[in-house]
Amino acid sequence: MSKSSSNNKHILITGGTGGIGKLLSEELLNRGYEVSHLSRNPGNNSKIKTYLWDITKGMIDEHCLEGIDTILHLAGANIAEKHWTETRKKEIIDSRTKSIGLIYQLIKNKPNQVNTIISASAIGYYSNRGDELLTENSPPNNDFMAQCCIEWENAVDEGRALGLRILKFRTGVVLDKNDGALPQMAAPVKLGFGAPLGNGKQWIPWIHWQDTVDMYLYGIEKINLSGVYNMVAPNPVTNKQFTTALARQLHRPIWPVKVPAFVFKLLLGEMSTIVLGSTRVSAEKIETDGFVFKYPELTEALKDIYG
Protein backbone atom coordinates (compact mmCIF):
# COMPACT_ATOMS: atom_id res chain seq x y z
CA MET A 1 0.00 0.00 0.00
CA SER A 2 1.66 3.19 -1.13
CA LYS A 3 1.49 6.19 1.19
CA SER A 4 1.09 9.74 0.01
CA SER A 5 2.78 12.71 1.60
CA SER A 6 0.53 15.09 -0.34
CA ASN A 7 -1.20 17.89 1.52
CA ASN A 8 -4.46 15.95 2.01
CA LYS A 9 -6.07 17.47 -1.06
CA HIS A 10 -8.61 14.79 -2.00
CA ILE A 11 -11.20 13.81 0.61
CA LEU A 12 -13.69 10.95 0.44
CA ILE A 13 -16.75 11.41 2.66
CA THR A 14 -19.23 8.75 3.77
CA GLY A 15 -22.52 10.28 4.90
CA GLY A 16 -21.70 13.32 2.77
CA THR A 17 -25.37 14.09 2.07
CA GLY A 18 -26.28 14.38 5.78
CA GLY A 19 -26.51 17.75 7.52
CA ILE A 20 -22.86 17.99 8.57
CA GLY A 21 -21.66 16.16 5.46
CA LYS A 22 -23.19 18.83 3.21
CA LEU A 23 -21.78 21.76 5.19
CA LEU A 24 -18.35 20.13 5.37
CA SER A 25 -18.30 19.29 1.65
CA GLU A 26 -19.10 22.91 0.84
CA GLU A 27 -16.37 24.25 3.14
CA LEU A 28 -13.78 21.82 1.75
CA LEU A 29 -14.61 22.82 -1.84
CA ASN A 30 -14.31 26.50 -0.86
CA ARG A 31 -10.85 25.77 0.53
CA GLY A 32 -9.68 24.16 -2.71
CA TYR A 33 -10.00 20.51 -1.70
CA GLU A 34 -11.29 17.89 -4.09
CA VAL A 35 -14.29 16.09 -2.56
CA SER A 36 -15.87 12.73 -3.39
CA HIS A 37 -18.79 10.99 -1.70
CA LEU A 38 -19.63 7.36 -1.00
CA SER A 39 -23.40 7.13 -1.09
CA ARG A 40 -26.36 4.83 -1.65
CA ASN A 41 -27.71 7.22 -4.29
CA PRO A 42 -26.16 9.08 -7.24
CA GLY A 43 -25.20 12.66 -6.34
CA ASN A 44 -26.50 15.83 -7.96
CA ASN A 45 -23.57 18.16 -7.29
CA SER A 46 -21.38 18.60 -10.38
CA LYS A 47 -18.37 19.49 -8.19
CA ILE A 48 -18.53 16.23 -6.21
CA LYS A 49 -17.99 12.78 -7.68
CA THR A 50 -20.29 10.23 -6.06
CA TYR A 51 -19.36 6.53 -5.82
CA LEU A 52 -22.07 4.03 -4.93
CA TRP A 53 -22.11 1.49 -2.14
CA ASP A 54 -24.67 -0.74 -0.47
CA ILE A 55 -23.63 -1.68 3.04
CA THR A 56 -26.32 -4.34 3.54
CA LYS A 57 -25.18 -6.12 0.36
CA GLY A 58 -21.49 -5.56 1.09
CA MET A 59 -21.11 -3.71 -2.24
CA ILE A 60 -18.69 -0.81 -2.77
CA ASP A 61 -17.39 0.86 -5.96
CA GLU A 62 -13.74 -0.19 -6.02
CA HIS A 63 -12.72 3.04 -7.77
CA CYS A 64 -13.72 5.18 -4.79
CA LEU A 65 -10.19 5.26 -3.33
CA GLU A 66 -8.48 6.59 -6.45
CA GLY A 67 -6.44 9.68 -5.56
CA ILE A 68 -7.84 9.77 -2.00
CA ASP A 69 -5.61 10.34 1.01
CA THR A 70 -8.19 11.19 3.71
CA ILE A 71 -11.53 9.53 4.44
CA LEU A 72 -14.17 11.20 6.61
CA HIS A 73 -16.51 8.54 7.98
CA LEU A 74 -19.80 10.24 8.88
CA ALA A 75 -22.23 7.54 7.70
CA GLY A 76 -24.73 6.09 10.12
CA ALA A 77 -28.48 5.53 10.42
CA ASN A 78 -30.29 8.27 12.37
CA ILE A 79 -30.39 7.14 16.00
CA ALA A 80 -33.63 9.01 16.80
CA GLU A 81 -35.61 8.33 13.62
CA LYS A 82 -37.43 5.13 14.65
CA HIS A 83 -38.17 3.17 17.82
CA TRP A 84 -35.33 1.00 19.07
CA THR A 85 -36.54 -2.48 18.22
CA GLU A 86 -33.82 -5.15 18.20
CA THR A 87 -33.82 -4.97 14.37
CA ARG A 88 -33.44 -1.19 14.42
CA LYS A 89 -30.60 -1.37 16.95
CA LYS A 90 -28.75 -3.75 14.67
CA GLU A 91 -29.31 -1.40 11.70
CA ILE A 92 -27.95 1.55 13.70
CA ILE A 93 -24.77 -0.31 14.66
CA ASP A 94 -24.24 -2.03 11.29
CA SER A 95 -24.59 1.24 9.37
CA ARG A 96 -21.57 2.54 11.31
CA THR A 97 -19.40 -0.57 11.66
CA LYS A 98 -19.98 -2.58 8.46
CA SER A 99 -19.54 0.57 6.39
CA ILE A 100 -16.01 1.27 7.64
CA GLY A 101 -15.31 -2.48 7.40
CA LEU A 102 -16.09 -2.37 3.67
CA ILE A 103 -13.65 0.52 3.23
CA TYR A 104 -10.87 -1.28 5.12
CA GLN A 105 -11.43 -4.41 3.02
CA LEU A 106 -10.93 -2.30 -0.10
CA ILE A 107 -7.84 -0.57 1.34
CA LYS A 108 -6.29 -4.02 1.92
CA ASN A 109 -7.10 -5.27 -1.57
CA LYS A 110 -6.50 -2.25 -3.84
CA PRO A 111 -3.41 -0.08 -4.32
CA ASN A 112 -4.19 3.32 -2.74
CA GLN A 113 -2.67 6.28 -0.95
CA VAL A 114 -5.10 6.61 1.95
CA ASN A 115 -3.25 7.67 5.09
CA THR A 116 -5.96 9.14 7.36
CA ILE A 117 -9.38 8.11 8.66
CA ILE A 118 -11.36 10.74 10.56
CA SER A 119 -14.55 9.31 12.01
CA ALA A 120 -17.57 10.63 13.80
CA SER A 121 -18.48 9.00 17.08
CA ALA A 122 -20.93 10.36 19.65
CA ILE A 123 -21.20 11.50 23.25
CA GLY A 124 -23.61 8.57 23.58
CA TYR A 125 -20.37 6.75 24.49
CA TYR A 126 -20.75 8.27 27.99
CA SER A 127 -24.58 8.35 27.88
CA ASN A 128 -26.54 9.32 31.00
CA ARG A 129 -24.04 10.32 33.76
CA GLY A 130 -25.71 13.03 35.86
CA ASP A 131 -23.35 15.88 36.82
CA GLU A 132 -20.07 13.99 36.26
CA LEU A 133 -17.67 15.98 34.02
CA LEU A 134 -16.70 13.57 31.24
CA THR A 135 -13.33 13.58 29.53
CA GLU A 136 -12.01 11.37 26.73
CA ASN A 137 -10.58 9.08 29.45
CA SER A 138 -13.93 8.53 31.20
CA PRO A 139 -15.15 4.94 30.88
CA PRO A 140 -18.13 4.23 28.59
CA ASN A 141 -21.62 3.59 29.89
CA ASN A 142 -23.32 0.21 29.38
CA ASP A 143 -26.64 1.08 27.70
CA PHE A 144 -27.48 0.79 23.99
CA MET A 145 -26.10 4.19 22.98
CA ALA A 146 -22.79 3.46 24.65
CA GLN A 147 -22.66 -0.03 23.11
CA CYS A 148 -23.25 1.47 19.68
CA CYS A 149 -20.39 3.97 20.13
CA ILE A 150 -17.99 1.33 21.49
CA GLU A 151 -18.57 -0.96 18.49
CA TRP A 152 -18.35 2.03 16.11
CA GLU A 153 -15.02 3.22 17.54
CA ASN A 154 -13.61 -0.32 17.67
CA ALA A 155 -14.50 -0.85 14.00
CA VAL A 156 -12.75 2.42 13.08
CA ASP A 157 -9.67 1.47 15.17
CA GLU A 158 -9.14 -1.60 12.95
CA GLY A 159 -7.47 0.86 10.57
CA ARG A 160 -4.49 1.16 12.92
CA ALA A 161 -3.33 -2.27 11.79
CA LEU A 162 -3.20 -0.82 8.24
CA GLY A 163 -0.84 1.95 9.38
CA LEU A 164 -3.49 4.67 9.10
CA ARG A 165 -3.80 7.79 11.23
CA ILE A 166 -7.08 7.36 13.13
CA LEU A 167 -8.94 10.34 14.59
CA LYS A 168 -12.37 10.07 16.23
CA PHE A 169 -14.68 12.90 17.29
CA ARG A 170 -17.29 12.14 19.95
CA THR A 171 -19.91 14.60 18.77
CA GLY A 172 -22.50 16.32 20.94
CA VAL A 173 -25.79 17.94 19.91
CA VAL A 174 -24.91 19.88 16.74
CA LEU A 175 -26.93 23.10 16.55
CA ASP A 176 -28.11 23.82 13.01
CA LYS A 177 -31.32 25.64 12.14
CA ASN A 178 -32.17 23.23 9.30
CA ASP A 179 -31.07 19.85 10.58
CA GLY A 180 -30.64 17.57 13.59
CA ALA A 181 -32.09 18.19 17.04
CA LEU A 182 -32.45 21.99 17.06
CA PRO A 183 -35.53 22.28 14.78
CA GLN A 184 -37.31 19.72 16.99
CA MET A 185 -36.26 21.51 20.17
CA ALA A 186 -37.31 24.90 18.75
CA ALA A 187 -40.73 23.80 17.41
CA PRO A 188 -42.67 23.88 20.73
CA VAL A 189 -40.83 27.07 21.80
CA LYS A 190 -41.87 28.84 18.57
CA LEU A 191 -45.50 27.85 19.26
CA GLY A 192 -45.26 29.31 22.76
CA PHE A 193 -45.18 25.92 24.50
CA GLY A 194 -41.51 25.85 25.48
CA ALA A 195 -40.83 24.09 28.78
CA PRO A 196 -37.92 22.24 30.38
CA LEU A 197 -38.03 18.46 29.87
CA GLY A 198 -37.98 16.06 32.81
CA ASN A 199 -36.36 17.79 35.81
CA GLY A 200 -34.58 20.23 33.46
CA LYS A 201 -31.25 19.57 35.20
CA GLN A 202 -29.87 17.19 32.59
CA TRP A 203 -26.76 18.49 30.81
CA ILE A 204 -26.80 19.09 27.05
CA PRO A 205 -23.38 18.84 25.36
CA TRP A 206 -24.10 21.20 22.44
CA ILE A 207 -21.89 22.59 19.64
CA HIS A 208 -22.52 25.15 16.86
CA TRP A 209 -22.44 23.59 13.37
CA GLN A 210 -19.63 25.96 12.31
CA ASP A 211 -17.38 24.74 15.14
CA THR A 212 -18.19 21.16 14.12
CA VAL A 213 -17.12 21.85 10.53
CA ASP A 214 -14.03 23.76 11.71
CA MET A 215 -12.99 20.91 14.01
CA TYR A 216 -13.14 18.40 11.16
CA LEU A 217 -11.02 20.77 9.04
CA TYR A 218 -8.61 21.14 11.97
CA GLY A 219 -8.36 17.35 12.13
CA ILE A 220 -7.69 17.10 8.39
CA GLU A 221 -5.01 19.78 8.34
CA LYS A 222 -3.25 18.95 11.62
CA ILE A 223 -1.66 15.70 10.55
CA ASN A 224 -0.25 14.80 13.98
CA LEU A 225 -3.72 14.79 15.59
CA SER A 226 -4.95 11.28 16.37
CA GLY A 227 -6.93 9.32 18.93
CA VAL A 228 -10.23 10.51 20.36
CA TYR A 229 -11.53 14.02 21.05
CA ASN A 230 -14.83 15.34 22.37
CA MET A 231 -16.61 17.52 19.80
CA VAL A 232 -18.62 19.78 22.12
CA ALA A 233 -18.56 23.47 23.03
CA PRO A 234 -16.59 24.31 26.18
CA ASN A 235 -19.68 25.51 28.08
CA PRO A 236 -22.37 22.83 28.39
CA VAL A 237 -25.78 23.91 29.72
CA THR A 238 -28.70 22.20 31.42
CA ASN A 239 -31.93 21.48 29.58
CA LYS A 240 -33.63 24.29 31.52
CA GLN A 241 -30.85 26.77 30.63
CA PHE A 242 -31.01 25.68 26.99
CA THR A 243 -34.80 26.04 26.77
CA THR A 244 -34.63 29.47 28.44
CA ALA A 245 -31.87 30.72 26.09
CA LEU A 246 -33.75 29.40 23.05
CA ALA A 247 -37.01 31.07 24.13
CA ARG A 248 -35.18 34.35 24.74
CA GLN A 249 -33.58 34.20 21.29
CA LEU A 250 -36.94 33.43 19.63
CA HIS A 251 -38.79 36.03 21.77
CA ARG A 252 -41.21 33.47 23.13
CA PRO A 253 -42.43 32.76 26.69
CA ILE A 254 -41.42 29.72 28.73
CA TRP A 255 -44.13 27.69 30.42
CA PRO A 256 -43.70 27.57 34.21
CA VAL A 257 -44.29 23.78 34.22
CA LYS A 258 -41.84 21.04 33.25
CA VAL A 259 -42.78 18.21 30.87
CA PRO A 260 -42.75 15.13 33.16
CA ALA A 261 -40.16 12.44 32.45
CA PHE A 262 -42.78 9.64 32.41
CA VAL A 263 -44.35 11.17 29.27
CA PHE A 264 -41.13 10.57 27.32
CA LYS A 265 -40.67 7.12 28.81
CA LEU A 266 -44.18 6.19 27.66
CA LEU A 267 -43.74 7.69 24.19
CA LEU A 268 -40.14 6.69 23.50
CA GLY A 269 -39.34 3.77 25.79
CA GLU A 270 -35.61 3.08 26.01
CA MET A 271 -35.00 5.87 23.46
CA SER A 272 -36.14 8.46 26.05
CA THR A 273 -32.53 8.56 27.28
CA ILE A 274 -31.79 10.81 24.25
CA VAL A 275 -34.06 13.46 25.80
CA LEU A 276 -33.72 12.76 29.51
CA GLY A 277 -30.09 11.64 29.72
CA SER A 278 -27.55 14.00 31.29
CA THR A 279 -24.13 14.13 29.64
CA ARG A 280 -21.74 16.87 30.80
CA VAL A 281 -18.77 16.72 28.46
CA SER A 282 -15.41 18.50 28.62
CA ALA A 283 -13.85 20.21 25.58
CA GLU A 284 -10.54 20.79 27.37
CA LYS A 285 -8.48 18.28 25.38
CA ILE A 286 -9.14 19.84 21.94
CA GLU A 287 -8.73 23.38 23.36
CA THR A 288 -5.40 22.43 24.94
CA ASP A 289 -4.36 21.16 21.52
CA GLY A 290 -4.96 24.63 20.09
CA PHE A 291 -8.44 24.54 18.61
CA VAL A 292 -10.31 27.84 19.08
CA PHE A 293 -14.10 27.80 19.22
CA LYS A 294 -15.98 30.51 17.31
CA TYR A 295 -19.05 29.96 19.50
CA PRO A 296 -18.06 28.87 23.03
CA GLU A 297 -21.23 30.36 24.59
CA LEU A 298 -24.78 29.19 23.86
CA THR A 299 -26.31 32.70 23.67
CA GLU A 300 -23.86 33.74 20.93
CA ALA A 301 -24.37 30.45 19.08
CA LEU A 302 -28.16 30.84 19.03
CA LYS A 303 -27.87 34.49 18.04
CA ASP A 304 -25.77 33.51 15.04
CA ILE A 305 -28.10 30.65 14.06
CA TYR A 306 -31.34 32.63 14.32
CA GLY A 307 -29.96 36.15 13.74
Are residues 48 and 36 in contact, defined by beta-carbon separation less than 8 angstroms?
yes
pLDDT at 268 over 80: no
Summarised one tens digit per residue, pLDDT across range 245-261 is 999 999 999 988 888 77
Summarised one tens digit per residue, pLDDT across range 15-46 is 999 999 999 999 999 999 999 999 999 988 99
Largest CA distance in the chain: 62
Q: 3 pLDDT band (50/70/90 cuts)? A: very low
Are residues 72 and 48 in contact, defined by beta-carbon separation less than 8 angstroms?
no
Q: Where are the domains of the chain?
A: 10-174+206-232
Total-model pTM: 0.94
Is residue 190 exposed (0-12), middle (13-18) or buried (19+ Cβ within 10 Å)? middle
Please give the CATH architecture assigned to the domain spanning 10-174+206-232.
3-Layer(aba) Sandwich (3.40)
* Residues of the chain above pLDDT 90, percent: 79
